[in-house]
A and B are shown apart, each in its own frame.
Chain A
Amino acid sequence: MSGESDKTLDCKGLSCPEPVLKTKMAMNDMQPGQVLEMIATDPGSANDIPAWAKRTGNQIIESKEEGGVWTFRIKKS
């Protein structure tokens, strides 16, 4: 994935709701403007992470799926 990330969160293997909860927890420790790279294999994350970001005002600057692995880069608002 292109671009720099300030922190990486591996949620591979976790099921709903943990990818969202762990993303929220990880973002709590970050500063506005910093970028979290989050990796998940839960297919629900494809919709859940964008829904979470929309609701919390954080910005997904990049997302991709490759072989059942989703990667999101989320900028803290």
Chain B
Amino acid sequence: MAEEKKKRLVMIASKGSMDMAYIPLIIGSTAAAMEMEVAIFFTFYGLDIINKHKYKNLGVAPLANPASPMPVPNIIGVLPGMTMMATAMMKSWMGKQNVATIPEMLKMCQDVGVRMIGCQMTMDVMGVKKEDLIDGVEIGGAATMLDFAADSDISFHI
């Protein structure tokens, strides 16, 4: 049942590959649709997920990834173009199942009110400016995330 106080979910998204971008976006949007308060803190490589120059082109590497959509020996995985091929293969699989794309998932997260916070320190280190991030995200540091996390019911790191 809907409660007086909403359940709260916080996630730390620290990986910037396509598969690891789906997890916080799918879980976050669903949680918000279940009337939870949701915040995602995008830090380190996870910042790419909300970087407007990068979020459309997140990839999946076959190198050192035994579960890659294109399982090849590492010696092949190092060759140029292999990450692009594995990424294309994964996108094609997901397209066949009608799974929303990363840009679509970001839009849905915003539509259902997921709070998205870009890590200030990562931005400084990577030379990312506020205008490089997609519209509607906040910027904050560890304390911003922890302030939200301190009263959260569910928290996890991706």
Contacts and interface: CB of A to CB of B under 8 A. Distances in A.
A15 B93 CA distance: 12
Q: What secondary structure prevails in chain B residues at the interface with A?
A: loop
A54 B98 CA distance: 26
Contacts of B99: 15-16
A57 B1 contact: yes
Contacts of B97: 15
Q: What secondary structure prevails in chain A residues at the interface with B?
A: helix
A24 interface: yes
Nearest to A54: B1
Interface in B4-61: 26, 29-30, 33-36
Contacts, number: 49
Given A24-B112, A25-B111, A77-B2, A55 B34 contact: yes
11 contacts: A13-B98, A14-B98, A15-B97, A17-B100, A18-B108, A20-B30, A20-B33, A25-B111, A56-B2, A57-B1, A57-B2
B59 to A, nearest CB: 21
Interface of B: 1-2, 26, 29-30, 33-36, 97-100, 108, 111-112
A59 to B, nearest CB: 10
Contacts of A55: 2, 34-36
Given A55-B34, A56-B35, A21 B112 contact: yes
B7 to A, nearest CB: 8
